[in-house]
Chain A
């Protein structure tokens, strides 16, 4: 799952994808859309996305639906906006299982989409989306299984520390840290100035687990991560080292009080809320954090003091300059009408992607659409995403939800002081056997 950002690899991947796509178009999967039937009969598309908080993204999706309906009046679109974790962990699996799934729904790629494909829940869109996939490069591969495309991303970015420039200045920090040692020094400086250095939404588990993930992708070789994701092989010692590094970092006490009871992104008391309201100096979070913070400030605007730096490099790891990230995509269920794929393609058309970029809710995947980014922070993230040597998908998404959640629980135990580095590895092995 590790995507090399070298241009050669990119070319090869694009070429392979196109080849696979054209190869499939004659097979059972690539029947394509029978264009003569398209838009003839009235259809309703049920669309589930995760922009459940009122904000620019929610407005944007509604506009996309309205515009598409205006273009194709036979298509009626019904949107349900559901909180992301609930959507991913409960609602979509339950709907797929019940045999009455939404037509178009959020997809995070990785191990999860592999499970869904194995059960035959998703529409193979390889033939229909050749052009879209070619326009976005390697990121699309995270939403492909066995060389076939089952969903398209609209957003992809790496994660890093969102920070408060004003508080950094106040603590006498002139430039953001680039190594872990520098980060530790900055934490000390912030604490000396009575500023909470980092807020973490450990209550939701995954925001805390991301520290371990970042240490893991720095400590592990690409092969170790791939073996873990595809063969459930967690025996590489780097996974224990990731736990040790996490422990060492927690021991510097960089986080706010009671972080086990702090949610990630809901309410002013969440970790994003603490950063947005000047009560903490940093938060490690994905590229969507600016959009989240926007909904958590009194004036509903993204604070102007925000800036961003990538996860600092560690010494002695096997991973090199690796970053971790993720994105959001949409998949069509196998029961969805052909118009669903058309809507998906419309979402990934350059103009819509550019308009998505302009909302500031994420980083577009279609080449050239990044021109729509007005937010300087997102421009920084887009640049860092481009320049990273390689990019890993969120480990919990990559390992699939059973192993992913068990891993998160064990990492939270480290945060609570009751867990151990070996405990994470044990939990991963245990989850795969239940």
Chain B
């Protein structure tokens, strides 16, 4: 296979091998056995924890989702796949499908808005100027604040006749005022705005870390060759930031599919129940806990899991693959 092994493969197996003096110590079989004991011994605690706290609850969720169950006592009323595709199942529930659409809006919106925005800010903040660290700090602040606080803060700002409405009418934009948190056609965009406000800082942290890893010599070389600042960014910085951007896209995607806290706090139960702002996760809690449809809530949880899982697998297979496989290939090359 590789350059280091031909002598073995050509000469056949043990007979051709020069008789090595036996090392004092365990035999090869014993060493293999010991290696396996080590592997099992070292991974067992993690495997047990993973099984008990991740795999088993997942299996239970699938099991519960097949029942009509109010959460009191043990589930007994078996309904098969009714909670998924029955007349009143999730895939026939308009509000759940609205939640799915809202997740999609947040996912695409986050990728299209947060990414370019954070990239732009990161490139600006990567230049040397006075007070750079202060600016860096300030752009991280929204990400550091707890989501519940963010939700309450924006709720107070966006409430009718609140800070934003007052500001808008002062500058003559009073005609544009609407129920930011009450207008069922607007509220999901309000949520996207709040999420963008909060999570752009997260993308920014990643991008700045990625930028710090790009060797300065490359920029200097480009500058000597007469490349403008913009050309340097476009031809060198952004391509070299590729793996960071792809990782961020992955995290943002999963985060968007599972978004819960800001929506839970900033939009009222009524607005959520109308399908205007609910995500799959808020829908799950609203139904599973509040309506006491535990079987159904578990079905929604399973759907949410599979959508996230499939999205993650596809993304890893087609987009992240070069970042994951590239180091492995590189290692193999070094070995040769």
* A interface residues, Cβ below 8 angstroms from B: 89-90, 93-94, 96-97, 115-116, 118-121, 202-205, 208, 256-263, 269, 401-402, 405-406, 408-409, 412-413, 415-416, 418, 430-431, 433-434
Do A203 and B274 touch across chains, with their CB atoms under 8 A apart? no
Do B160 and A208 touch across chains, with their CB atoms under 8 A apart? no
Give which listed residue, B160, B184, B293, B295, contacts A257 with CB less than 8 A. Answer: B160
Given A93-B71, A434-B83; A412-B160 close (CB under 8 Å): no
Given A208-B270, A430-B88; A121-B292 close (CB under 8 Å): no
Chain B residues in 8 Å Cβ range of A96: 72
Chain A residues in 8 Å Cβ range of B271: 203, 260-261
Q: Mark B252-277, 1 if CB is under 8 A from A, else 0.
A: 00000000000000011111011000
Give which listed residue, A97, A202, A263, A408, contacts B72 with CB less than 8 A. Answer: A97
Give which listed residue, A97, A256, A412, contacts B274 with CB less than 8 A. Answer: A412
Cα(A145)–Cα(B309), bound, Å: 46
Chain B residues in 8 Å Cβ range of A416: 184, 270, 274
Do A97 and B270 touch across chains, with their CB atoms under 8 A apart? no
Chain A residues in 8 Å Cβ range of B160: 256-258, 261
* B interface residues, Cβ below 8 angstroms from A: 68, 70-73, 83, 87-88, 95, 159-160, 179, 181-184, 267-271, 273-274, 289-293, 295-296
Given A89-B289, A412-B274, A433-B88; A418-B269 close (CB under 8 Å): no
Cα(A405)–Cα(B95), bound, Å: 14
Q: Which residue of A lies closest to B158 (CB)?
A: A261
Q: Which residue of B lies closest to A408 (CB)?
A: B273
Closest 6 CB pairs of A and B: A203-B268, A261-B182, A258-B182, A119-B72, A261-B181, A258-B179
Cα(A120)–Cα(B274), bound, Å: 35
Do A121 and B72 touch across chains, with their CB atoms under 8 A apart? yes
Give which listed residue, B73, B159, B182, contacts A259 with CB less than 8 A. Answer: B182
Do A260 and B268 touch across chains, with their CB atoms under 8 A apart? yes
Do B291 and A203 touch across chains, with their CB atoms under 8 A apart? no
Chain A residues in 8 Å Cβ range of B290: 89-90, 401, 405
Do A409 and B72 touch across chains, with their CB atoms under 8 A apart? no
Do A118 and B273 touch across chains, with their CB atoms under 8 A apart? no
Do A402 and B269 touch across chains, with their CB atoms under 8 A apart? no
Chain B's interface: helix, strand, loop or mixed, by majority?
loop
Interface-centre pick from B159, B184, B290 (highest chain A CB count, 10 A): B290
Do A257 and B269 touch across chains, with their CB atoms under 8 A apart? no
Cα(A433)–Cα(B160), bound, Å: 39
Do A409 and B273 touch across chains, with their CB atoms under 8 A apart? yes
B332 → chain A, closest Cβ, in Å? 51
Known: A90-B289, A115-B72, A205-B270. 4 other contacts (CB 8 A): A119-B73, A204-B268, A258-B160, A260-B270
Do A260 and B70 touch across chains, with their CB atoms under 8 A apart? no
Cα(A260)–Cα(B83), bound, Å: 29
Chain A residues in 8 Å Cβ range of B87: 433
Do B270 and A418 touch across chains, with their CB atoms under 8 A apart? no
Chain B residues in 8 Å Cβ range of A89: 289-290, 292
Chain A residues in 8 Å Cβ range of B296: 434
B15 → chain A, closest Cβ, in Å? 67
Chain A residues in 8 Å Cβ range of B269: 203-205
Chain B residues in 8 Å Cβ range of A408: 273
Do B70 and A202 touch across chains, with their CB atoms under 8 A apart? no
Chain A's interface: helix, strand, loop or mixed, by majority?
helix
Do A203 and B270 touch across chains, with their CB atoms under 8 A apart? yes
Q: Which residue of A lies closest to B152 (CB)?
A: A267
Do B72 and A260 touch across chains, with their CB atoms under 8 A apart? no
Chain B residues in 8 Å Cβ range of A208: 270
Cα(A258)–Cα(B88), bound, Å: 31
A79 → chain B, closest Cβ, in Å? 23
Do B274 and A413 touch across chains, with their CB atoms under 8 A apart? yes
Do B273 and A205 touch across chains, with their CB atoms under 8 A apart? yes
Q: Which residue of A lies closest to B179 (CB)?
A: A258
A263 → chain B, closest Cβ, in Å? 6
Chain B residues in 8 Å Cβ range of A412: 270, 273-274
Chain A residues in 8 Å Cβ range of B274: 260, 409, 412-413, 416, 418
Do A202 and B88 touch across chains, with their CB atoms under 8 A apart? no
Cα(A204)–Cα(B270), bound, Å: 6
Chain A residues in 8 Å Cβ range of B273: 205, 408-409, 412-413
Chain B residues in 8 Å Cβ range of A431: 291, 293
Do A269 and B270 touch across chains, with their CB atoms under 8 A apart? no
A413 → chain B, closest Cβ, in Å? 6
B181 → chain A, closest Cβ, in Å? 4
Given A93-B292, A259-B182; A434-B270 close (CB under 8 Å): no
Cα(A269)–Cα(B163), bound, Å: 13
27 pairs, CB–CB < 8 Å, chain A vs chain B: A93-B72, A93-B289, A96-B72, A115-B70, A204-B268, A204-B270, A205-B269, A257-B160, A258-B183, A260-B182, A260-B270, A260-B271, A261-B160, A261-B182, A261-B271, A262-B268, A401-B290, A401-B292, A402-B70, A405-B291, A408-B273, A409-B273, A412-B270, A413-B274, A430-B88, A434-B293, A434-B295
Do A402 and B292 touch across chains, with their CB atoms under 8 A apart? yes
Interface-centre pick from A257, A258, A413 (highest chain B CB count, 10 A): A258
Chain B residues in 8 Å Cβ range of A402: 70, 291-293
Chain B residues in 8 Å Cβ range of A413: 273-274
Chain A residues in 8 Å Cβ range of B293: 402, 431, 434
Q: Which residue of B lies closest to A112 (CB)?
A: B292
Do A401 and B179 touch across chains, with their CB atoms under 8 A apart? no
B76 → chain A, closest Cβ, in Å? 12
B79 → chain A, closest Cβ, in Å? 9
B73 → chain A, closest Cβ, in Å? 5
Chain B residues in 8 Å Cβ range of A116: 72
Cα(A202)–Cα(B295), bound, Å: 28
B187 → chain A, closest Cβ, in Å? 8
B156 → chain A, closest Cβ, in Å? 8
B285 → chain A, closest Cβ, in Å? 9
Chain B residues in 8 Å Cβ range of A205: 269-270, 273
Give which listed residue, B72, B159, B268, contacts A118 with CB less than 8 A. Answer: B72
A356 → chain B, closest Cβ, in Å? 29
Chain B residues in 8 Å Cβ range of A401: 290-292
Give which listed residue, A119, A269, A434, contacts B88 with CB less than 8 A. Answer: A434
Chain A residues in 8 Å Cβ range of B181: 258, 261
Chain A residues in 8 Å Cβ range of B183: 258
Chain B residues in 8 Å Cβ range of A204: 268-270
Chain A residues in 8 Å Cβ range of B68: 433-434
Chain A residues in 8 Å Cβ range of B83: 434
